A = this chain, B = another copy of it.
Amino acid sequence: MSARRNDSHHEDMETGADRQTDRLDFAAHLNSESLHPADIADHLEHLSPEKRVSAVNSMSKEDAAETIAELEENIAAEVLENLDIDKAAEIIAEMDRDDAADVLDELDDEHRDVLLEKLTQEDSEELRHLLRFDPDSAAGVMNSELILLDQNMTIDEAITHIRREMEEEKESPYYGYVVDSHDILIGVLSLRDLMLARPGVKVGAIAAGQNVVSVTFDTEKGEVANLLSHYNYLAMPVVDYEGHILGVVTYDDIMDIIHEEASADMLGMVGADPEESCDTPWLESVRKRLPWLVVNLLNSAFSASVVYMFEGTIAQMAVLAVLMPMVANQAGNTGQQALAVMIRQLSRDIFDQKKAWLAVLREARIGLVTGLVMAVLSFLGSWWFTGNYMVGVVMGGAILCDMFLGAVAGGSIPLVFRYLGRDPAQASSIFLTTITDGAGFFIFLGLASFFLF
C-alpha cells in the first residue's frame, strides 16, 4: 500500500478487507479527531440515506459542516433536506460560504428559502448574493471570506490583523489582499512577503510595484483553473468590472475544476453530459444522452444513404459489404486519435490559431504515414482473402484516403466547433464518425464500381 497514515484504524479501512467491521468501528470515530472529514464523507457516501442522516445528527456542528462540504453535492443536499431544519441551519452557518452556496444551489427553492430564513441576516444575505452568480463562473466558485489589508496599514499592523482573522476565519488565508479606500484591489501579499518585509513599511508601498493578476466575476471557471495553474498561484482574486474585490477562488476548488474539465472533454466527445458521473440519476442520463444518440442515428442514416447509392454494386459482389466497414472503422479510429490530441490542446493552452493549424498539419502527416502502412497491410490481406488483387488495390486505396481524411477531420473539427462558438469537444466524435463513415463508404464503393466492373 502506498498511502500511509500513522493511524492504524485508517489503515484497516484502506485494505477494504473487512468493510463491515469498519462500519461498526466507524460510528465510534465520527466525533473523534482521528478521521479527516474527506474520509468521513467517503464513508457516508457508502451508507443508506437514513444512516447518513443519523450519522450527521450525531456529529458536532463543526464536524458536520466540514463533512458535508466534502460530500458529493447531490448527496449533501439530500442529507440537509432530511435533517431537522434548525440543525441544518446551524451546519450551513458553520460551513465556508462557497461550499454552503454550492450545496444550497442543489436544494429545491422552497427548502432553500426556509433554511436561509433561519440564518443570521448577514449570513443569509451573503449566501443569497453568492447564489445569484452562475455556478460555472469565477463568482460561482469563489469564497467571499478573505483578508483585506488597507493600503495604509504597516507590515506589523497587517500581521496582527491577519493573525486575528486567522483565529476567526474557518478557511486558511494564503494571501492578504491590499485595497485602496474604495476596496479596489491594488496588490496581493503572501504570508512569506509579510514575514520577510521590514515591519514599519506600509503594505501599499510594497503593493505599488506589483502586477496583480485577477479575474472578473463572470470568467468561466475552467479559465480560472488554467490561469491559476499557469501562474502556480494558491488563490486568484475575483473582481467586478471596476476592480472592486469580491472574493477569491482557492487551489482546492481549482483541483476539482481541473479534474472535472479534463474528463468533461472525454464525456463530451462521445455525446454524454460533461458533468455526468456514476452518481447521476440514470433517467437523467437517458434524457441527456438521447438527443445525441438521435443525432448519431441521423448521421449514420446519411452514411447509409451513401451505401444505398451503390446497392447494385454490392448485390453483384457481396464481399464488398464485408470489407466496407473495415475502411470506415480504421479511419474512425485514426480520426479519434487526432481528435483527442486536439481537444487536449485546446482545453489546456491559451488559444493560438497558428499553433492550432500547425497541429492539424501534424495530424495530416501522421494520417498519411499511418494510412500508407495500413493501406499496404489491408491491400495484402484483402488480396489474399479474395484472391483478386484489384480488390486489394481498392481496399488499400480507400483505407489510405479515408485515414488521411479522418486525421484531418479529427484535427479540424474541434477548431471549427470553437470558431462556431461551440464547445470544441461536445459530440465531436459523432460528427467525425459521420465523415469517416460516409467518405469511407463512398471512396471504397466508388473505387470498387470503377475498377472491378
Contacts and interface: CB of A to CB of B under 8 A. Distances in A.
Interface of A: 2-7, 10, 16, 33-34, 36, 38, 42, 46, 138, 163, 166-167, 172, 186, 190-192, 195-196, 209-216, 218-220, 223, 227-232, 234, 239, 243, 251-252, 254-256, 258-259, 261-263, 265-267, 269-272, 276-278, 282-283, 285-286, 289-290, 292-294, 296-297, 300-301, 303-305, 307-308, 311-312, 314-315, 318-326, 328-330, 332-334, 336-337, 339-345, 347-348, 350, 352, 355, 358-359, 362, 365-366, 369-370, 373-374, 377-378, 381, 429-430, 433, 437, 441
A195 to B, nearest CB: 6
Contacts of A223: 2-3
A38 B230 CA distance: 6
B294 A307 contact: no
Contact of A4 (B163, B213, B231): B213
Nearest to A266: B266
Contact of A340 (B190, B227, B267, B381): B267
B286 A366 contact: yes
Given A2-B220, A322-B308, A333 B215 contact: no
Given A234-B234, A251-B234, A255-B228, A344 B4 contact: no
Which of A34, A276, A325 counts the most B-chain CB atoms under 10 A from its CB? A325
A311 B301 CA distance: 22
Contacts of A292: 333
**4 closest cross-chain pairs (CB), A and B:** A262-B262, A321-B321, A2-B219, A278-B359
B347 A263 contact: yes
Given A266-B266, A269-B266, A321 B324 contact: yes
Contact of A318 (B3, B38, B311, B374): B311
Q: Of A254, A272, A430, which is in contact with the most chain B CB atoms at under 10 Å from its CB?
A: A272
A290 B340 contact: no
Nearest to A268: B340
A309 to B, nearest CB: 9
A189 to B, nearest CB: 13
Given A345-B277, A377-B294, A211 B325 contact: no
